[in-house]
Amino acid sequence: MISLIRNKNKTFIYYGFLGDSNFGDEVVFETSRQLFKPHILLPVKKMMPLPLMIYCKLCNKKISGIIIGGGTLFGSIMEQDFFESIVDTKKPVYIHGTGTHSTMGSLDGWKRILSNRIYGGVRGPISKYNMKNYDFEVGIAGDASFGMFERKLDNGHGKRETLKTILVNVGTHLDFKGSTTSRNAIKGFIKACVRDGFRVQFLPFFSTDTLLGLEIKKEIPEMELLKIPTSYLECVNHFHNSIFAIGERLHFNIMALLGNSPFLSINYNKKHEDFLESMNLKSSGILPEDISLDEALNAFQNRFAFDWEAINKKLYQYKHFQVDEASKFIN
């Protein structure tokens, strides 16, 4: 707490899920920290060190603004009284690629929080539409992790096609319609790829993914089970070294895009569609009840259809938008 008080840079409150080793949440926070460096981002949650809690309660005049992180967060408000107390001091809000539920809980609270100066934007067109339904006018910033995008100079796709690695992922917090269909198709795809001499690696983003990966490995021992990545760079390198990816987790598919790896997203939630539509890549996703081995193999065969020049141009546009908006917010 002493370092916070002595800090000569600005301190921003960070609103978002953290602390349960979910790579998607962690990479969004990593991106936010990079974007606002050298300023301090202070995550506020129920379980936090007592000195930080005291600082948040007693020193809120030292807080320069609120950063609403990635994830689908425009719903019920966590720690609502605290965030409203910050807003009452007329501090600005930066929306960092946040998703929006179609039904927004705590609407009066969000109207207070978003009543001051707003910077940044939401994840995609679906989130923008949902916000507009509640009279919030916001732009589109793409996913928060787009702020980390850098294309490797050696990432030519001619070289990539000499690689033999395919990445897969299954796992969600809650069960979803078509989950059995989806996972049977993915297992069939893994078996087919192993049979054809490809190296298949299962990349988990959360502990439940790892458990599911262990179950698949019992059935298909040739599949390699990787560890949950600990950083953006570690994760994106997996995709830089793969020729194709297929998976369920939203940020598995987002990281495939950032690593310029062709992919097929299993759209078990509207957030997947929101992300894909933000990049004009709706055809790169499929509903879990519609996936089959043939559909997965077809996506693999059509992996050359990705227009990486156009995709990377759009990624840089979102990145620069996030950076420009962050600069305005800081100042």
Tens-place pLDDT, residues 55-112: 666 666 778 999 999 788 888 888 777 777 777 778 899 999 999 998 888 888 888 8
Residues 134-163: what's their mean pLDDT?
79
CA 239 from chain centre, in angstroms, equals 15
Six token digits for residue 290: 């519609």
Q: Is the pLDDT of residue 247 over 60?
A: yes
pLDDT at site 155: 47
Q: Which of 253, 328, 323, 330 is nearest to 96 (CA)?
A: 323
Mean pLDDT, range 152-162, rounded to an integer: 56
- What is the C-alpha to C-alpha distance for residues 247 and 169, in angstroms, rounded to an integer? 4
Q: Give 213 or 116, the one with higher predicted confidence.
A: 213
* pLDDT reported for residue 248: 98
- C-alpha count within 13 angstroms, C-beta hemisphere, residue 280: 9
152 pLDDT band, cuts 50/70/90, is low
The architecture CATH gives domain 2-148: 3-Layer(aba) Sandwich (3.40)
Q: In the 8-state DSSP scheme, what is residue 226? A: P
What confidence score (pLDDT) does residue 158 get?
Answer: 53
Give residue 48's pLDDT: 56
Gap between the Cα atoms of 190 and 198, Å rounded: 9
Instruction: Decide if 216 contacts 204 (C-beta within 8 A).
Output: no
Helix (H) or strand (E) holding 250: helix 250-258
Query: Is the confidence at residue 292, as pLDDT, over 70?
Result: yes
Instruction: State the pLDDT at residue 74.
Output: 87
Q: Is the pLDDT of residue 187 over 50?
A: yes
What is the C-alpha to C-alpha distance for residues 144 and 71, in angstroms, rounded to an integer? Answer: 9
Q: What percent of the chain has pLDDT over 70?
A: 89
Q: Which fold has domain 157-310?
A: Rossmann fold (3.40.50)
- Read off the pLDDT of each residue in 279-291 and give the average, rounded to a whole number: 97
Q: Three-state DSSP class for 154?
A: coil
Boundaries of every domain in the chain: 2-148, 157-310
Cβ neighbours of residue 13 closer than 8 Å, sequence gap 6 or more: 41, 42, 44, 56, 63, 65, 66, 67, 83, 86
pLDDT at 57: 63
Q: What is the mean pLDDT of the chain?
A: 90
Based on DSSP, count helices (H) and strands (E) in the chain, helices before strands: 14, 13
